[in-house]
Amino acid sequence: MKYARKRFFEPEMSAKDDFLKNLNESFSAVYSAIDLPKMSLLQVIDRIKQFDFKVDSRMVQSIIQNKLDYIFNDPICDKCKINLQYKYTKETKTNTTIGKLIFQFPYFYCPKCKSYHSPYQEVLNTRPGWLC
């Protein structure tokens, strides 16, 4: 009985291990391909479409959001070179050729020059009603 049970679960675990290995390799390839802040969202999508495997839009969304959060952890005003003050975050939905992407875009304010900044939108080169 012990032998039969082991044989029954072995293919499942083997398939799961193969799937997770492929997923990790795919994630690493996509993560490396997304070069922020050097790429716009359109450039990211074009690069993703060149892969010979299907990329889930939620993976791309997660990678972009996390990279932007890291890059703009402590945003500085381009004009004044002082730290920006956080104002609010807006959820932005974008329909792309790889699927729907939903981002949390923070907006900032410079107390010195009184300017508003949306660095995530600037890097990704997105605007309302924009599709890629």
**pTM value?**
0.84
> Between 57 and 14, whose confidence is greater?
57
Question: pLDDT digits over 2-48, tens only?
Answer: 555 555 568 888 888 899 999 999 999 999 999 999 999 999 999 99
d(CA 31, CA 64): 9
> Where do the domains of the chain lie?
2-124
> How far is C-alpha 55 from the chain's CA centre?
12
pLDDT at 95 over 60: yes
pLDDT in the model for residue 126:
86
Mean pLDDT confidence for 48-69: 96
> What percent of the chain is predicted at pLDDT more than 70?
89
d(CA 108, CA 121): 12
Find all residues with CB under 8 Å of 86, minimum gap 6, and list them.
106, 107, 108
